[in-house]
Amino acid sequence: MTIGGSIALIAVGAILKWAVTAHVSFIDLQTAGTVIFVVGLISLPLSLLYTFMWSERDRRDRTMGPPPPGY
């Protein structure tokens, strides 16, 4: 999941948790909002870690020079 996806999950979860006052019979919207919010909070540091680890590897690959002949 990307950083934008994580932020979107946090936003949707927060809206469902604190801004929606409707009640439906088949699902509790506040509980669903809490679950979505927590999933977004957990995925945000993971996506940041993945992004920075990936960019670090890419930067290292570019500084090592061209590949040897026949690669």
Instruction: Tell me what the pLDDT averaged over the chain comes to.
Output: 85
Enter the tokens of residue 56.
């670090």
Output the pLDDT for position 53. 81
Average pLDDT on 59-71 reads 64
Enter the tokens of residue 41.
């909070």
Tell me the pLDDT tens digit for each residue of 16-43: 999 998 899 999 999 999 999 999 999 9
**Would you call 54 helix, strand, or coil by DSSP?**
helix
Alpha-carbon distance of 17 to 39, in angstroms, equals: 13
Residue spans per domain, the chain: 3-59
pTM, two decimal places: 0.73
Output the pLDDT for position 12. 96
Dihedral, CA of residue 40, residue 46, residue 50 and residue 52, to nearest 10: 90
Enter the tokens of residue 48.
């940041």
Output the pLDDT for position 71. 58
Alpha-carbon distance of 33 to 71, in angstroms, equals: 51
